[in-house]
Amino acid sequence: MNTVYDFTVKDRKKNEVSLADYSGKVLLIVNTATGCGFTPHYEPLEEMYHDLKDKGFEILDFPCNQFANQAPGDEEEIHSFCTMKFGTEFPQFAKIDVNGETAEPLFAFLATEKPFAGFGKGLKNAALNRFADMNNKKFGDKAYIKWNFTKFLIDREGKVVARFEPTEDMGAVRRAVEEIL
């Protein structure tokens, strides 16, 4: 696999979707959760989507329940929560695993292309790192993603150009998106 366009995933209704359908667009691929401390990221994500979608930008949202059971609902419950609370309009896909033997191959690819480089400095980030390490011990070398709201930036050719941990400032994420648009 060379680009994200080589992957097929399932939408929230379990229909197969080729990521080649997004060819030529800038993508931000995110694993999300509705009950996470980072769930408010939906607000700047939706704002970014609203402002930039006409320039060839898409956000692909993949709910995941592997981090402290913070996305317990089914696809429709999660979708209803996101649209009612945050007004999200960007595509939301089927709930997936991002770590372990059952990890969605797309996320294993993304994390291999841009491995985890840390949550950053500070007490809060150090605490998240310890908690994430405890949670991800069970996945061993297949702990690809450390926490909810990890974001991968994909250029118009389908190449992974950046990884943003959930602790990254959303303004910095937006600037990176705007730069490659």
Distance CA 37, CA 175 (A): 23
Of 42, 61, 68, which is closest to residue 128 (Cα–Cα)?
68
- φ and ψ at 11, to 5 degrees? -75, 180
Helices 42-52 and 75-86, packing angle to 10 deg: 80
Of 170, 176, 123, 172, which is closest to residue 153 (Cα–Cα)?
176
End-to-end alpha carbon distance in the chain: 24
Name residues whose C-beta falls within 8 Å of residue 162's C-beta, 6 or more positions apart in sequence.
114, 152, 153, 176
Distance CA 21, CA 11 (A): 13
Which residues are known to be catalytic? 36
